[in-house]
């Protein structure tokens, strides 16, 4: 089940990347940003990786409802992420900042993204097959929706250095890739995107990080047994909340094991 999705995702991602490289400069310009080194990179990696992963999900032999859930989560989260990438012009940051602005009547692009990713997570969770009925089913849908949306946002929070977000979704997807088509599709897209990302020619941006993260979250929600799912949800929620107070980049840099993993495949400092 897993291999087909990974191969299709990798091939689609690589093909779209080659096609994007041939676009006229004026078409590529809206996607250009400055990275942490002050160098110009393109955000086109994001939509390319998400489309590649979605192709892998569609081609996989996953159960129909799981496939539909991953397609909804990835496409909607990627779309609102792309909107934030291209239309975001505010200095407002974080959940607290965007929700505070929303209470003032200011609808930021980040708020649109947060609401869109949250809604996509709930819809995807509702599509997943489950045995529970009534209140139990509602509780599971809310929990799975939080896991999907939380994983999407956490992946976005990690997209601050080359390859970091790709390594994260690959690590989360690898244990379930053999049985979960969406997880294998994420790995295929991540592997194909890695050379450009690690080479600091491109980055995922909100589109890619939210889209791949949402598909990964859907795979986790669909595949993990309940005890592990509860642990995963707790970890995702805790890390999202911690991001409001703590710099992940600083923590990683100050933790030798994490810093070593973070530097794998990257250009020297």
Mean of all residue pLDDT scores within the chain: 92
Q: Residue 43: pLDDT band by 50, 70, 90 thresholds?
A: very high
pLDDT, position 97: 59
| pLDDT of 77 strictly over 70 | yes
Q: What is the pLDDT of residues 14-35, one digit of tens each?
A: 999 999 999 999 999 999 998 8
Q: Tens digit of pLDDT for each residue in 181-224?
A: 899 999 999 999 999 999 999 999 999 999 999 999 999 999 99
Q: Residue 171: count other Cβ atoms within 10 Å of its Cβ.
A: 13
Say if CB 188 and CB 5 are below 8 A apart.
yes
- Is 80 exceeded by the pLDDT of residue 108? no
> Quick one: tokens of 148?
């999907």
State the CB neighbour count (10 A cutoff) for residue 194: 18
pLDDT of 100 reads 66
Cβ–Cβ < 8 Å for 203, 35? yes
Rounded Cα gap, residues 190 and 206, in angstroms = 15
Residue 244's pLDDT is: 86
């Amino acid at each position: 089940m897993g291999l087909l999705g990974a191969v299709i995702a990798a091939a689609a991602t690589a093909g779209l990347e080659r096609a994007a490289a041939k676009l006229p400069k004026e078409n590529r310009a809206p996607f250009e940003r400055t990275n942490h080194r002050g160098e110009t990179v393109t955000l086109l990696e994001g939509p390319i990786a998400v489309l590649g992963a979605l192709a892998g999900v569609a081609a996989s032999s996953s159960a129909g409802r799981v496939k539909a859930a991953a397609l909804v989560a990835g496409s909607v989260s990627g779309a609102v992420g792309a909107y934030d990438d291209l239309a975001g012009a505010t200095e407002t940051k974080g959940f607290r900042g965007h929700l505070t602005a929303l209470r003032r009547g200011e609808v930021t692009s980040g708020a649109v993204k947060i609401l869109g990713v949250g809604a996509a997570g709930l819809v995807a969770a509702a599509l997943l097959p489950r045995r529970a009925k009534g209140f139990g089913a509602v509780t599971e849908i809310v929990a799975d929706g939080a896991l999907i949306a939380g994983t999407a946002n956490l992946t976005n929070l990690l997209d601050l250095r080359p390859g970091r977000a790709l390594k994260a979704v690959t690590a989360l997807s690898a244990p379930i890739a053999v049985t979960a088509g969406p997880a294998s599709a994420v790995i295929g897209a991540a592997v194909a995107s890695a050379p450009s990302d690690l080479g600091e020619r491109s980055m995922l941006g909100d589109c890619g990080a939210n889209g791949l993260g949402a598909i990964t979250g859907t795979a986790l929600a669909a595949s993990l047994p309940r005890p592990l799912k509860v642990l995963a949800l707790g970890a995702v929620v805790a890390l999202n909340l911690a991001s409001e107070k703590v710099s992940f980049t600083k923590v990683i840099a100050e933790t030798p094991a994490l810093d070593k993993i973070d530097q794998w495949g990257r250009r020297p400092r």
